[in-house]
Structure 1
Amino acid sequence: MKPLAPQNPIEALYREGRKTFIELVPDGGARLDALFHTAPALGELAVGVVYGYLHDRQGLDPRLQEAAIFAAIVAAGMVGPPLSVHFKTSLAQGLAAGELTELLLLVSAFTGFPRAVATADQLNLLFAGANLPSPPPPPPRAVAVAFCESVRRGHPSFAVDTLVRKLLRKPHKLSLHATAADRVLVESYVGQETTPRGTVLVRVTGADVVQVRAYVPAAT
């Protein structure tokens, strides 16, 4: 029996990477074909590594992965296809437009203003092409922080029940984590405790809180 030829690992990674890219980016297949028309082998290598191998690693959540990639693109001054591609994949992976501008501001302090300004200029076009407002609404975490402060002051910006008030009141320590472009988890701790007394889910649309729900551990 003739032995089977070993499978080319790059080809396998490219197939998986192309599938992932098409799921994230509308017309992703056509975009890849146009981008790597002159050097298809480069496309196989780049897509296979980024979207076939790195994208599938489980050490970072997708939002953090895309945030790191976006920051690296800004730092490198890549305002061409890398920026436009990862603008779309960042939104697809749950980063809010306002989080991208926050990342741009943060990176500018380390990479220099000229590269940040060049990126901002391209972001204007990308926001317009995606029918997104520019400047974008505040990041979801910033909206949630303001909401929590309004509850602590006794004048919540969104109607809440007694349990939410209890979890967000002082002197409880709050730890806020944006998990998507429209939601933030708020963990409530007391003193030096390492287990939260409860969690509050804050859902936002743009700059507005639209839903608040509290969760507490079941009694044992």
Structure 2
Amino acid sequence: MGDEVEKLHRRGRANFAELVEGGEQRLDALFRTIPALGELAVGTVYGHLHERPGLDPRIREAATLAAIVAAGMAGPPLSVHLKTGLASGLAPGEVTEVVLQTAAFAGFPRAVSAADQLNRLFADAGLASPPARTPREVVLAYCVAPPEDAEPDVLALLTEVTRVSATATGPDRVLVECFGDDSLDGVLVFRVDGENVVEVAVYRQAD
């Protein structure tokens, strides 16, 4: 059992160091007084849970942030998981949406405490506050009212379809499935920079 915990701890430290600059030194400072707690916490969160295939890293970190806000932990856990959430592909606007969503279920005082801490954390990280709209929101607005200079094949697909389903896949990427009636007609892959769509790839369903 001891060897397995040690392996998970080593793997967790390596994963955390990949996500956060100076991560190993940060862990050493955080758990200096109780290193055994670091072994258990880091081994569980970043050794075991981080590598489970059932959720992608973005969803896992969003769920973690929601749990942190719901528990009222507006200290080191929020700071750490803002960093790992961004490194795992969450956009800053998605982080604030998680806090907003949590307010409805965990209460406004805890969400307000988290928002107050995020003011400082965003400033320390050099992030815009408030952040830009989420990539998904930018892309959905584009799909509803495409710009006049949009590529003809993009316009054609958006004009033909009756329904779209948008899924953010990273901090600047959104995949849009385009449906005509009940069939998938094509897929658009958007790249977003701040409030702007900067690239759209079109993939048509084969006849």
For Structure 1 versus Structure 2, the TM-score category normalised by the shorter chain is over 0.9
C-alpha distance in 2, partners of 1:52/1:35? 17
C-alpha distance in 1, partners of 2:19/2:26? 12
Q: CA deviation at 1:162?
A: 2.1
Which residue number in structure 2 is paired with residue 213 of structure 1?
201
Amino acid at match of 1:21: F
Which residue number in structure 2 is paired with residue 182 of structure 1?
172
Q: CA deviation at 1:33?
A: 0.2
Q: Deviations over 1:161-214 (max 9, x none)?
A: 222112212542100000011011111011122xx2111111111111111121
C-alpha distance in 1, partners of 2:115/2:61? 17
Which residue number in structure 1 is paired with residue 162 of structure 2?
172
Over 4 Å off, 4+ runs: none
Amino acid at match of 2:89: G
What value does the CA root-mean-square deviation take over the aligned residues?
1.3
Q: What does residue range 22-171 of structure 1 map to in structure 2 within 5 Å? A: 22-151=17-146, 156=147, 159-169=149-159, 171=161
Q: CA deviation at 1:217?
A: 3.7
Q: CA deviation at 1:7?
A: 6.6
More displaced, 160-169 or 12-21? 160-169
Q: CA deviation at 1:120?
A: 0.3
C-alpha distance in 2, partners of 1:171/1:212? 17
Please list every run of 5 or more consecutive structure 1 residues that lacks an aligned counterpart in the other structure.
1-5
Q: Deviations over 1:78-137 (max 9, x none)?
A: 011100000000000110000011111111011111100000000001100110010000
SS in 2 for 1:214: strand
Is 2:161–2:178's contact at 8 Å kept on the other side of the alignment?
no
TM-score in terms of structure 1 length: 0.91
Based on CA coordinates, which of the two structures has the bigger radius of gyration?
A: 1
- Tell me if 1:199 matches 2:149: no
Amino acid at match of 1:104: V
SS in 2 for 1:180: coil
C-alpha distance in 2, partners of 1:112/1:165? 43
